[in-house]
Amino acid sequence: MGKRLPKETPSYLNFDEEAYSWKPDVDYKKHPEVYRVGKGEQGVLICEPYKSEVGQFWRFKTEAVAEESSNKIYELFLSYLERQDFVGADMARKYLQMGFTRARRYANYKGGKKYDKENDYQPLQKGTGQQEKADAAAV
């Protein structure tokens, strides 16, 4: 019998690319009918052309950078809504959410690493991160 991983492990360990709803070869602006909302930030780094349109502004390294980034992405969100582009609006929303979650991870864990790859993916100790990242996440 193989090694058993802890109950809480990174989702990418057992990633099933075939079952994943979002595909990199689809133009979601031309084919919004195949877009799936999903949970959390799923699809955010795949769905084109939104990945390129929104992702270029995604920066949450410091509070000041997060402020500028979130304002720009929120502007894009509003413009997508104005054009009744639901997929674009949802993608912009996901980028804002992802800015928060990634900044929080760096605030909670030194180097942003939640699991110890060298120790059967055991969760690392929380509270070892940076206050600067917590400030960025608060934006």
Q: What's the chain's Rg over C-alpha atoms?
A: 17
CA dihedral 120, 124, 129, 134 (to 10 degrees): 100
The answer to whether the beta carbons of residues 54 and 91 sit under 8 Å apart is yes
Locus of tokens 């928060």: 100
Q: Is the entire prediction scored with pTM above 0.85?
A: no
- Neighbour-count burial of 109, counting CB atoms closer than 10 A to its CB (0-12 exposed, 13-18 middle, 19+ buried): buried
- Neighbour-count burial of 77, counting CB atoms closer than 10 A to its CB (0-12 exposed, 13-18 middle, 19+ buried): buried
- pLDDT for residue 92 is more than 70: yes
Which tens digit of pLDDT belongs to each residue from 35-68? 988 777 888 888 999 999 999 999 988 889 989 9
Tokens (6 digits) for 52 = 């390129």
Which tens digit of pLDDT belongs to each residue from 95-121? 999 988 888 777 777 777 777 777 777
